[in-house]
Structure 1
Amino acid sequence: MITVQQEDFDHGREYEALRELANRDGAIVTFTGLVRDFNSQCSVSNVVIEHYSGMTEKYLMQICSDAKKRWNLGQVRIIHRIGTLEAFEQIVFVGVSSKHRQNAFEAAQFIMDILKTTAPFWKQETTAKGTQWVKRKDSDEAAAAKWSGA
């Protein structure tokens, strides 16, 4: 299930929903990303996240589909927030269930690596130096690239 929303989410509630649907899966892995209060140059007070409605959800569904083709997964849940988010607010949730932990860990990492580098979201940071659009990092690109040969 995919959700793009402005509202915050309850990590515990999302985990419980995954657990209820996970049936006989033996592993649930979750990741929650937060808005950082820094970048490589200075402090960050907030980010504004934009997206293309419809296109973004379709792309996230494709990421989930790709993950399910690579690993034997039960449930997959992605929530990504949009709008203005202050430092330390939750920005993204990824939850994956599987019969085995290795599949769940790898699939969750794959989803985040691909989402971070290719999903149609745009972030603008507000810093002490003004506002700036966030560019992709080489480290994120390298993390995503490792999945192309998997």
Structure 2
Amino acid sequence: MSVRVQTEDFDLGAEVAAIRAGRTDIGGIVSFIGTVRDLNEGDAVSTLTLEHYPGMTERALEAIVDEARGRFDILDARVVHRIGRLAPGDQIVLVITVSTHRGEAFAACEFLMDYLKTRAPFWKKEVTPAGERWVDARESDDDAAARWNCADERGAP
């Protein structure tokens, strides 16, 4: 299983062990863990709630992983994304890529994160001292995804 969306936390060591199980062809393993920050746009954040559409979200994540497999010489990839109410310091997302060589694993991991930030159908709501607010996409995330020279389903880079 290359994609999971779940409320429960994940364990990096267990996920790496699972992707490596029985394989001796892996020369490089790259992982990224995203966590909830306690500050966003100058405001303290007490909680972050992530919402999604079950089924649609998993299909979108699988498509992003499939695109990475087509672009990079990787042996496997795994994405675990949490939903629900999270607190600062909690883990949100895990991306693991494995390849025979480190370069492809690094590039694929970075590609996956750039595309997860811009194309994955998650909605984020923060609680701050001023109240609740939905988190808008950042221009810097769009710029990061655009450097891979891909158009999204709307035709935008």
Aligned residues: 149
Shift of 1:25: 1.4
Structure 1: give runs of 5+ residues left out of the alignment.
Answer: none
Shift of 1:128: 1.0
Q: Distance in 2 between matches of 1:46 and 1:139?
A: 23
- AA at the equivalent of 2:92: I
Asked if structure 1 preserves the Cα contact closer than 8 Å seen for 2:75 and 2:99, the reply is yes
**Residue of structure 1 equivalent to 2:5:** 4
**Residue of structure 2 equivalent to 1:144:** 145
- AA at the equivalent of 2:63: Q
Q: Distance in 1 between matches of 2:107 and 2:22?
A: 20
Q: What is the SS of the residue equivalent to 1:104?
A: helix
Q: Distance in 2 between matches of 1:64 and 1:123?
A: 22
Which digits, 9 at most, give the CA deviation of each residue in 1:81-109, with x for residues without a partner? 00000111000000000011110000000
Asked if structure 1 preserves the Cα contact closer than 8 Å seen for 2:69 and 2:76, the reply is no
Shift of 1:22: 4.3
- AA at the equivalent of 1:62: A
Structure 2 matches for 1:1-150, cutoff 5 A?
Answer: 1-20=2-21, 22-148=23-149
Q: Distance in 2 between matches of 1:32 and 1:120?
A: 18
Asked if structure 2 preserves the Cα contact closer than 8 Å seen for 1:21 and 1:75, the reply is no
Asked if structure 2 preserves the Cα contact closer than 8 Å seen for 1:22 and 1:75, the reply is no
Q: What is the SS of the residue equivalent to 2:4?
A: strand
Q: Distance in 2 between matches of 1:21 and 1:89?
A: 31
Q: Distance in 2 between matches of 1:21 and 1:80?
A: 25
Q: Distance in 2 between matches of 1:18 and 1:130?
A: 41
Structure 2: give runs of 5+ residues left out of the alignment.
Answer: 151-157
- Tell me the C-alpha RMSD between the 2 structures: 1.0
- AA at the equivalent of 2:142: E
Q: Give the TM-score of the pair, scaled to structure 1.
A: 0.96
Shift of 1:146: 0.4
Name the CA shift for 1:23/1:61 in 2 (closer, same or farther; >3 Å).
farther
* Bigger mean CA offset, 42-51 vs 11-20: 11-20
